Amino acid sequence: MGESEMTTSTDGTGGTGEEAVSRFVERFAAEMTAAGMQRMASRVFAALLASETASMTSAELAERLRISPAAVSGAIGYLTQVGMVSRERDPGTRRDRYVLHNELWYETFTRRDQVLVRWEKVLKEGAETLGPDSAAGRRTTETAEFFAFLHGEMSGIMDRWRVHKEAQGAGTPEAS
């Protein structure tokens, strides 16, 4: 498959290391799909996550996942749009390499935090429009308050994550 992390040693389950990695990729992709991510994007993301370098070319992804280049392209388009993967040029070639962001989960949740703020603002405006005494207005106000609560909690969680990472000796997340 062209990636150094693929081995042929046994994994303790009767399969090769490559088979075990493939099972992990498919299992994690299924979980992401069940959570709402597009199926092919989930598979491509999981394959990148499981690769030693966190990067692969379109041809490597197609071979690893046994999918068409068009399927890879569509999945990469989605993953790039949502900020989970970036496209880089392979040094000295004309091939693109698809790379997971360094602080992927930190960046993803930071962006989600920004979405919460925007939703809260729109919901507060909607609650005013619907009227505070109406059932719809009260429901919309409570939803805005919920997103405000999540925003406050997310900030604390991200701060605790940075402290935890530093304590583990992994450094601090890069600013996005």
In a structure prediction context, what are the per-residue pLDDT tens digits for the chain, which is 176 residues long? Answer: 444 344 333 444 445 688 999 999 999 999 999 999 999 999 999 999 999 999 999 999 999 999 999 999 999 999 998 888 988 887 888 888 999 877 777 777 777 777 888 889 999 999 999 998 999 999 999 999 998 998 888 888 888 888 998 899 855 444 43
Report pTM. Answer: 0.69
Please name which of 83, 85, 32 lies closest in space to residue 61, comparing C-alpha atoms.
Answer: 85
CB 44 within 8 A of CB 55: no
| Placement of tokens 């005013």 in the chain | 128
DSSP state of 174: P
In the chain, DSSP assigns E strands to: 55-57, 85-89, 96-100
What is the C-alpha to C-alpha distance for residues 67 and 86, in angstroms, rounded to an integer? Answer: 20
Rounded CA separation 159/139 (Å): 31
pLDDT at 46: 95
Q: Would you state the structure tokens that stand for residue 28, as one six-digit string?
A: 């994690």
pLDDT at 170: 54
The pair of structure tokens assigned to 157 is: 């969680």
